[in-house]
């Protein structure tokens, strides 16, 4: 491992993990430049292992996000399927208080249709 590791906007010092910004007035940056002039090379910002780990985490994160979306949809369907007309009306009133009565009626009708469809195994 080299004494320094590249980082966005500067370098990280291996000895203490300090971030040294790219500023010619910073004496640590000047020391790093002297270290480079002496023929040394810093470590890359990310090693091959770190890049592979990042890629793996990105795939995992995407999978988790997809699962989360499906889980939320399942939860809504599970709740809606046995709902009575009164429960749907209460839900619409609480969730859409700014809607007009006509708009709330349309939403109630759509949710009724969805609930009936679910009960008949349509989804």
77: its two tokens: 């369907």
Q: Helix (H) and strand (E) counts for the chain?
A: 4, 3
At CB < 8 A and 24+ separation, what contacts does 57-65 make?
Answer: none
Tell the smallest beta-carbon distance from residue 91 to another protein (Å). Answer: 25
64 is an interface residue for another protein by CB under 8 A: yes
CA 32 to chain centre: 36
Stretch that binds another protein, among 24-32, 73-81, 84-92, 99-107 (CB under 8 A): 24-32
60 binds another protein (CB under 8 A): yes
Listed in sequence order, the residues at least 6 apart from 25 whose beta carbon sits closer than 8 Å to its beta carbon are: none
Select the span of 60-68, 70-78, 85-93, 94-102 touching another protein (CB under 8 A).
60-68
The CA distance from 16 to 79, in Å, is 54
Binding status of residue 55 toward another protein by CB under 8 A: no
Q: Does 19 bind another protein (CB under 8 A)?
A: yes
Under the criterion CB under 8 A, does residue 73 sit at the interface with another protein? Answer: no
Q: How many residues interact with another protein (rule CB under 8 A)?
A: 25
Task: Find where tokens 């002297």 sit.
Answer: 34
Among 52, 55, 58, 71, binds another protein (CB under 8 A): 58
What token pair was written down for 19?
């971030």
- Contact residues toward another protein (CB under 8 A) are 7-10, 13, 16-23, 25-29, 57-58, 60-61, 64-65, 68
């Amino acid at each position: 491992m080299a004494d320094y590791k590249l980082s966005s906007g500067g370098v990280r010092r291996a000895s203490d993990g300090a971030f040294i910004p790219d500023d010619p007035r910073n004496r640590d940056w000047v020391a790093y430049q002297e270290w480079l002039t002496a023929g040394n090379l810093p470590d890359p910002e990310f090693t091959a292992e770190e890049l592979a780990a990042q890629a793996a985490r990105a795939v995992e994160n995407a999978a988790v996000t997809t699962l989360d979306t499906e889980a939320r949809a399942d939860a809504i369907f599970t709740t809606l399927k046995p709902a009575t007309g009164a429960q749907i009306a209460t839900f619409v009133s609480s969730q859409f208080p700014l809607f007009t009565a006509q708009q709330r009626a349309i939403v109630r009708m759509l949710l009724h249709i969805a609930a009936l469809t679910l009960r008949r195994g349509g989804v």
